[in-house]
Amino acid sequence: MAAFILRRLAQSIIVMLVVGLVAFFMFQFLGDPVNQMVGVDTPVAEREALRERLGLNDPLIIRFGKFVVNAAQLEFGLSYQHKSPVTDLLLERMPATIELSMVSAVIAFALALPAGVYTGLYRNRWSSKAMLTLSLIGISVPTFLIGILFIYLFAVVLGWLPSFGRGDVVTLPGGWTTGLLTASGLKAIILPALTLGLFTLTLIMRLIRAEMLEVLRTDYIKFARARGLTNRAVNFGHALKNTLVPVITVTGLLLGNLIAFAIITESVFQWPGMGRLFLQSIQEVDLPVMSAYLVMISFLFVVLNLVVDILYYVVDPRLRVEGHGSGH
């Protein structure tokens, strides 16, 4: 177990270094930081002094080392556009994005689980087929279009829900802002969270259905039925439990995707999150923000991947047995 985790940890560190390298080169070779800091009429000698002071004349490897050390301390410099520290900008917007992604994940999972089990158990009912067809459409219609349709229907025509923003937010101790404690905040999160979660919902539902179909065909389910166990015990105690291994893996990875795809949803609903900041930074070629977002989101992805791998190991006993009979 320890060896396995160590190996995965080493791999994660390599991934982070590669991402860091991309972010570093973006910084170094696109746009000159000195040009951003001085006026047009600054003499060459002064520029050179500044370069020396900033350490821009150091060998590449030393500069990369400094970049990594700074990045590890969440130090990404000033945003070209906002003229304030990039880290503050991102941290300020992080709660909005995390909250949106988490609520979407909960909605997606809470709806996908029963829907997947139902369509797996009763595959020939017309309601199952309707759900599957609907999910195919859900995959083909792009997220932003669903968002627009939701806004038109629920905000413009019916007027039930707000179409943009986060509503009122409460600041919790520690600086975390949340919209989940106010009525307007809760109302505001419904449409974006549904929009963001829909794609994930269809994916998880289809996965659970496929896994259920697979498991229900196995011998041990037949024997469980032959033993006279109740349907509930067979379907949920034996079948569902065994479908959950791949579901956990995929859900973990989809969590990362939700945070990345929040870029689109945040743009549709003008949600004040990190994704919108990243999008603006691309349009304005705000390199510090771009590379900081890249490093932070990559870190999130790597951690999620690592957690999923370890969970996989914990959930599936077969993996543990293979590893030199340790314990079991």
Partner 1 sequence: MTDTTSPKLASAKPSLLYRIWDHELCYSFRNSPLTVAAAVVTLLLILSAVFAGFIAPHNPFDLASIDLMDSELPPAWTEDGEARFLLGTDNLGRDIYSTILYGMRISLLVGFASVVLSAVIGISAGLVAGYIGGKVDAVIMRIADIQLSFPTILIALLIDGIMRGILDREQHDAMIIPVLVLSIGISNWVQYARTVRGSTLVERNKEYVQAARIIGLHPILIMIRHVLPNVMGPVLVIATLGLAFAILTEATLSFLGVGMPPTEPSLGTLIQIGNDFLFSGLWWISIFPGMTLAVLVLAVNLLGDWLRDALNPKLR
Regarding 142 and contact with partner 1 (CB under 8 A), the answer is: yes
Q: According to CB under 8 A, which residues from 68 to 107 bind partner 1?
A: none
Nearest distance, CB of residue 63 and partner 1, angstroms: 18
Regarding 140 and contact with partner 1 (CB under 8 A), the answer is: yes
Q: According to CB under 8 A, which residues from 15 to 54 bind partner 1?
A: 15, 18, 26, 30-31
Query: Which among 34-42, 72-80, 90-98, 136-144 is the span making contact with partner 1, rule CB under 8 A?
Result: 136-144
Contact between 225 and 274 (Cβ < 8 Å)? no
Angle at 142 between CA 140 and CA 144, to 5 degrees: 160
Query: Which among 41-49, 97-105, 146-154, 177-185 is the span making contact with partner 1, rule CB under 8 A?
Result: 146-154
Alpha carbons 234 and 242: distance in angstroms, whole number = 11
Nearest distance, CB of residue 126 and partner 1, angstroms: 17
CA distances from 112 to 9, 102, 260 (A): 31, 15, 20
- Closer residue to partner 1, CB minimum distance, 213 or 294: 294
- Closer residue to partner 1, CB minimum distance, 126 or 325: 126
Nearest distance, CB of residue 94 and partner 1, angstroms: 16
Nearest to 211 by CA among 241, 233, 231, 232: 241
CA distances from 88 to 72, 116, 177, 289, 292 (A): 15, 41, 14, 11, 11
HSE at residue 94, side-chain half, CA atoms within 13 A, is 14
Q: According to CB under 8 A, which residues from 170 to 199 bind partner 1?
A: none
Single out the residue of 144, 160, 220, 236 in contact with partner 1 (rule: CB under 8 A).
144
Alpha carbons 132 and 202: distance in angstroms, whole number = 9
Residue with tokens 């994940």: 105
Q: According to CB under 8 A, which residues from 229 to 288 bind partner 1?
A: 253, 256-257, 260-261, 263-264, 267-268, 278-279, 281-283, 285, 287
Alpha carbons 78 and 89: distance in angstroms, whole number = 10
Regarding 163 and contact with partner 1 (CB under 8 A), the answer is: yes
Q: According to CB under 8 A, which residues from 287 to 316 bind partner 1?
A: 287, 290, 294, 297-298, 301-302, 305
Alpha carbons 251 and 108: distance in angstroms, whole number = 10
The DSSP 8-state label assigned to residue 78 in this structure reads B
- Closer residue to partner 1, CB minimum distance, 111 or 304: 304
Alpha carbons 88 and 81: distance in angstroms, whole number = 14
Nearest to 79 by CA among 68, 99, 93, 96: 93
Take residue 220 and report the two structure tokens written for it.
Answer: 């041990």
- Closer residue to partner 1, CB minimum distance, 233 or 264: 264
- Closer residue to partner 1, CB minimum distance, 169 or 269: 269
Alpha carbons 289 and 77: distance in angstroms, whole number = 9
- Closer residue to partner 1, CB minimum distance, 201 or 224: 201
Residues that bind partner 1 (CB under 8 A): 15, 18, 26, 30-31, 136-137, 139-145, 148-149, 151-152, 156, 163, 253, 256-257, 260-261, 263-264, 267-268, 278-279, 281-283, 285, 287, 290, 294, 297-298, 301-302, 305
